[in-house]
C-alpha cells in the first residue's frame, strides 16, 4: 500500500508532555495563577550587548547569506571561548554554527551514524536524543542510571553495553533533567574505558556548561587529549545566554567531521540566522557569572524544601537549572476519587489542583521522577513548595 507518511517519521514518539502542555495553556487562559516549572528556559534576558548587536545587524543590512558553517568572526569567537573557558584548542574550521542546541546534535547523528549502528545513551536523558538517533537509522542503547550514582553512567555499565556496533556514546554534563555534573575522576574512569575503542565517538553535550554550582565543568578531551579526534562537543546559546528564541548553537569537532557536517547543513538548512550570529559574537563576551550564585540559592531553596515534604526525595543537582525529585512513593495513592498511577498522573493532578506545572520523568526515560525548573524567582519557588506540600498531604492511601 502507498503510505502517506514515511516509516522514519512514523517511528518518532510524540512528545510525552503534549497533553500536559495543552492543559497548562487552558489554565493560563483561564487567568489562574500558574507556576510554570516545566519549561527548559532560564528567566534571564539575553545580554543587552547581544540584543544590540542583533539590532545593529538588521539596521546596517548585515542580513544576507553567510557561509553555511557560519560567519568566520563567530567561529573565531567560539574558538576563543573554548580556549578561555574550557582550555581546549580548536581552529575555526572545526566549528560549525547551527540553529539552537538541537540542530548541531541532529547533524552529528546524521553525519556519523549508519543503519543499525548503536549509540549509548545514559538515562535519564534529554528528550530529543532517542528520536534524533532513530532518525539517523541508528539504535539508541539506553542505559538506566539511578539516584545511587547520581544518575551518572559508571565505567562498568559503559563497558557492559559496548558492542562491535557501538558508534558513539552521549555524555551530557551538566545534565537535563537531573542536573548531574561529571567530576574529573568520573570522566577519567569513562575515558579509560573509551580509550581502548578507537572507533567510538564521544558526543559531549555541554549546553549548560556555565551552570555548575559545585566544582567546575570539564570537557573529557581536556583530561584525555588522545580522545580529541573522536570527541564532538555540542553547545548552544539558549541556556547560558538565555537566547532560546535566537536559535544559535554549534559543534566543535575533528576537521573531517566538521567538514562533513558543513556540507550536510549546506543542503539541509544553510547557516543559522545571520542576525543571531552577530548577536552571538557579542554574547560570547558577556556571560553574567553572578547568575550562577543566584541560581545556586534558588536550587537550595527548592531542593531543601522538596526534601522536607514527606514522601519526596530529591538529590541535589550540581548543575543546570532542574531538580528531579522522586515521587514514586505516591504512586497508588488517591486524590479524592482519582488515583495517581505514575509520574504523568502526578503531574496532571498537581497542575489541575495546585496550578504547578512540572514535567513527568517518563519524557526523560525515568518514570519515578518529575522535573522542576528552578530558574524562576525565589518567591515563586517558595509558593510552589507550599502548593506541592498541600497537594501531597491530600493524597490518601487507597482503601
Ligand atoms: C541537554 C540539551 N541539549 C540540547 C538542547 C537543545 O537546545 P535548543 O533549545 O537551543 O535547541 C536542550 C534544550 O533543552 C538540552 O537540554
In a domain, 256, yes or no: yes
Ligand 1 atom nearest 247 alpha carbon: 10
Domain end (from 267, 283, 299): 283
Query: Do 302 and 370 belong to one domain?
Result: yes
In the reported structure, the alpha carbon of residue 392 is separated from the centroid of ligand 1 by a whole-number distance in angstroms of 31
Distance CA(291)–CA(206), nearest Å, equals 18
Q: Are 337 and 95 in contact (CB under 8 A)?
A: no
In a domain, 42, yes or no: no
Distance CA(98)–CA(104), nearest Å, equals 6
Determine the angle formed by the axes of helices 378-393 and 343-354, rounding to 10 degrees: 110
In the reported structure, the alpha carbon of residue 371 is separated from the centroid of ligand 1 by a whole-number distance in angstroms of 15
Q: What is the CATH number of the domain that holds 176?
A: 3.40.640.10
Query: Do 71 and 216 belong to one domain?
Result: yes
Query: Do 278 and 294 belong to one domain?
Result: no
User: Any alpha helices (H) in the chain, and if so which ranges?
Assistant: 7-10, 18-29, 48-59, 72-81, 102-112, 128-135, 155-161, 184-194, 220-223, 255-268, 274-283, 290-307, 343-354, 378-393
In the reported structure, the alpha carbon of residue 104 is separated from the centroid of ligand 1 by a whole-number distance in angstroms of 10
Q: What is the CATH number of the domain that holds 369?
A: 3.90.1150.10
Query: Do 63 and 130 belong to one domain?
Result: yes
In a domain, 54, yes or no: yes
Top mutation candidate among 239, 280, 322 for ligand 1, by most atoms within 8 Å of CB: 239
Tens-binned pLDDT, residue by residue, of the chain (399 aa) = 678 999 999 988 877 676 777 788 888 888 778 999 998 899 989 999 999 999 999 999 999 999 999 999 999 999 999 999 999 999 999 999 999 999 999 999 999 999 999 999 999 999 999 999 999 999 999 999 999 999 999 999 999 999 999 999 999 999 999 999 999 999 999 999 999 999 999 999 999 999 999 988 999 999 999 999 999 999 999 999 999 999 999 999 999 999 999 999 999 999 999 999 999 999 998 777 888 999 999 999 999 999 999 999 999 999 999 999 999 999 999 999 999 999 999 999 999 999 999 999 999 999 999 999 999 999 999 999 999 999 999 998 766
CB 238 near ligand 1, within 6 Å: yes
| The predicted structure's pLDDT at residue 134 | 96
For ligand 1, atom 16, name the residue with the nearest CA: 176
| The predicted structure's pLDDT at residue 399 | 61
In the reported structure, the alpha carbon of residue 252 is separated from the centroid of ligand 1 by a whole-number distance in angstroms of 16
In a domain, 351, yes or no: yes
Residue with cell 553512567: 153
Top mutation candidate among 17, 39, 102, 245 for ligand 1, by most atoms within 8 Å of CB: 102
Q: Are 125 and 172 in contact (CB under 8 A)?
A: yes
| The predicted structure's pLDDT at residue 193 | 97
3 state DSSP class of 152: coil
Query: Do 233 and 369 belong to one domain?
Result: no
CB 205 near ligand 1, within 6 Å: yes
CB 102 near ligand 1, within 6 Å: yes
Query: Do 260 and 309 belong to one domain?
Result: no
In the reported structure, the alpha carbon of residue 102 is separated from the centroid of ligand 1 by a whole-number distance in angstroms of 6
Query: Do 212 and 338 belong to one domain?
Result: no
In a domain, 243, yes or no: yes
| The predicted structure's pLDDT at residue 77 | 97
In the reported structure, the alpha carbon of residue 69 is separated from the centroid of ligand 1 by a whole-number distance in angstroms of 20
Query: Do 213 and 85 belong to one domain?
Result: yes
Q: Are 241 and 104 in contact (CB under 8 A)?
A: no
Query: Do 136 and 167 belong to one domain?
Result: yes
In a domain, 194, yes or no: yes
| Number of structural domains found in the chain | 2
CB 100 near ligand 1, within 6 Å: yes
Query: Do 25 and 90 belong to one domain?
Result: no
Domain that holds residue 355: 7-32+289-391
In a domain, 38, yes or no: no
Ligand 1 atom nearest 237 alpha carbon: 10
How far apart are the two ends of the chain, measured CA to CA in Å?
52
CB 94 near ligand 1, within 6 Å: no
CB 176 near ligand 1, within 6 Å: yes
Query: Do 184 and 301 belong to one domain?
Result: no
Query: Do 247 and 122 belong to one domain?
Result: yes
Distance CA(40)–CA(239), nearest Å, equals 8
Top mutation candidate among 130, 238, 279, 363 for ligand 1, by most atoms within 8 Å of CB: 238
Domain end (from 266, 283, 300): 283
Per DSSP, what are the bridge partners of residue 168? 119, 201
In the reported structure, the alpha carbon of residue 251 is separated from the centroid of ligand 1 by a whole-number distance in angstroms of 13
Top mutation candidate among 236, 242, 248 for ligand 1, by most atoms within 8 Å of CB: 236
Q: Are 138 and 114 in contact (CB under 8 A)?
A: yes
pTM above 0.85, yes or no: yes
| The predicted structure's pLDDT at residue 398 | 66
Domain end (from 231, 248, 283): 283
| The predicted structure's pLDDT at residue 29 | 81
φ/ψ of 173, rounded to 5, equals -145, 120
In a domain, 43, yes or no: no
Amino acid at each position: 500500500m502507498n503510505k502517506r507518511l514515511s516509516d522514519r517519521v512514523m517511528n518518532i514518539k510524540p512528545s510525552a508532555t503534549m497533553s500536559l502542555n495543552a492543559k497548562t495553556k487552558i489554565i493560563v487562559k483561564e487567568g489562574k495563577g500558574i507556576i510554570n516549572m516545566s519549561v527548559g528556559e532560564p528567566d534571564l534576558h539575553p545580554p543587552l550587548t547581544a540584543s544590540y548587536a542583533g539590532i545593529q545587524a538588521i539596521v546596517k543590512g548585515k542580513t544576507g547569506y553567510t557561509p553555511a558553517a557560519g560567519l568566520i568572526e563567530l567561529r573565531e569567537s567560539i574558538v576563543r571561548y573554548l580556549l578561555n573557558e574550557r582550555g581546549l584548542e580548536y581552529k575555526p574550521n572545526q566549528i560549525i554554527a547551527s540553529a539552537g542546541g538541537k540542530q548541531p546534535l541532529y547533524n552529528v547523528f546524521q553525519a556519523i551514524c549508519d543503519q543499525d549502528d548503536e549509540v549509548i545513551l545514559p538515562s535519564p536523558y534529554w528528550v530529543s536524543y532517542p528520536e534524533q538517533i532513530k532518525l539517523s537509522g541508528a539504535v539508541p542503547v539506553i542505559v538506566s542510571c539511578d539516584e545511587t550514582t547520581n544518575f551518572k553512567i559508571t565505567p562498568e555499565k559503559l563497558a557492559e553495553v559496548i558492542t562491535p556496533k557501538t558508534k558513539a556514546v552521549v555524555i551530557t554534563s551538566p545534565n537535563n533533567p537531573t542536573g548531574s555534573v561529571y567530576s574529573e575522576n568520573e570522566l577519567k574512569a569513562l575515558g579509560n574505558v573509551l580509550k581502548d575503542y578507537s572507533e567510538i565517538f564521544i558526543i559531549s553535550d555541554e549546553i549548560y556548561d556555565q551552570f555548575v554550582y559545585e566544582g567546575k565543568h570539564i570537557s573529557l578531551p581536556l583530561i584525555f587529549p588522545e580522545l580529541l579526534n573522536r570527541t564532538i562537543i555540542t553547545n548552544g546559546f539558549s541556556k547560558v545566554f538565555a537566547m532560546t528564541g535566537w536559535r544559535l548553537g554549534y559543534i566543535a569537532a575533528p576537521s573531517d567531521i566538521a567538514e562533513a557536517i558543513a556540507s550536510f547543513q549546506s543542503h539541509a538548512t544553510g547557516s543559522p540566522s545571520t542576525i543571531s550570529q552577530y548577536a552571538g559574537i557579542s554574547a560570547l563576551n558577556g556571560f553574567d557569572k553572578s547568575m550562577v550564585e543566584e541560581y545556586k540559592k534558588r536550587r537550595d531553596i527548592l531542593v531543601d524544601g522538596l526534601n522536607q515534604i514527606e514522601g519526596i526525595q530529591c538529590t541535589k543537582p550540581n548543575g543546570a537549572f532542574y531538580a528531579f525529585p522522586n515521587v514514586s512513593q505516591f504512586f497508588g495513592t488517591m486524590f479524592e476519587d482519582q488515583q495517581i498511577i505514575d509520574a504523568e498522573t502526578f503531574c496532571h493532578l498537581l497542575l489541575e489542583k495546585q496550578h504547578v506545572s512540572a514535567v513527568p520523568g517518563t519524557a526523560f526515560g525515568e518514570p519515578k521522577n518529575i522535573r522542576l525548573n528552578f530558574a524562576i524567582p525565589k518567591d515563586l519557588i517558595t509558593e510552589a513548595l507550599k502548593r506541592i506540600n498541600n497537594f501531597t498531604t491530600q493524597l490518601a492511601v487507597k482503601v
